[in-house]
Amino acid sequence: MVDVKKYINILPVVKKIKSKYGLSVGDDFVYFIDSTALRLWFKDKKIIPQVDNDISKYLEGNIELTKIDNKYYGDLIYMLKPSNVFFPDFFNTKKNKGMHGYNNTIHEQKGLCVIMGSKTDETYKEIPLHEVKHIVLDLLK
């Protein structure tokens, strides 16, 4: 868990983009404000570079450089740096004091998995999260 130090209200920027480009939510674009990420999808893909420029300027210094090529998750995706959160967002009514969901390479995002039983005799100092699935599946054989 990471202590929250900065709350970023992205709603005024979304409203400004709506007005500036004459967009209608639901018809021209949709957006989702997660605690640590902003995702936007656009009907007209030609507008994406201009909107990206507007949002990037507003969030300068607060976002991780993240490349997600699958447009299913958003035409534009902004991941906040640790200690920053979007508030308000689509989940919370109160400001969080701690948050997860950041880049999984930072220490505060690491987890712990304890598996006990007769089939367990190995200890792992540190493994990627996706490797836990294979260990559990092997134990279930």
pTM attached to this predicted model? 0.82
The whole-chain average pLDDT of the chain stands at: 91
Confidence of residue 120 (pLDDT cuts 50, 70, 90): confident
Pick the CATH number of 2-109 from 1.10.3470, 1.25.40, 1.25.10, 3.30.1360: 3.30.1360
Q: List, for residues 71-97, the tens digit of each pLDDT value.
A: 889 999 999 999 999 999 999 999 999
What's the 3-state SS for the chain?
A: CEECCEEECCHHHHHHHHHHHCCCECCCEEEEECCCEEEEEECCHHHHHHHHHHHHHHHCCCEECCCCCCHHHCCEEEEECCCEEECCCCCCCCCCCEECCCCCCCHHHCCCCCCCCCCCCCCCCCCCHHHHHHHHHHHCC
Query: What's the confidence (pLDDT) of residue 19?
Result: 98
Asked if the model's pLDDT at residue 98 lies above 90, the reply is yes
The domain segmentation of the chain, as residue ranges, is 2-109
Q: What's the mean pLDDT in 31-47?
A: 97
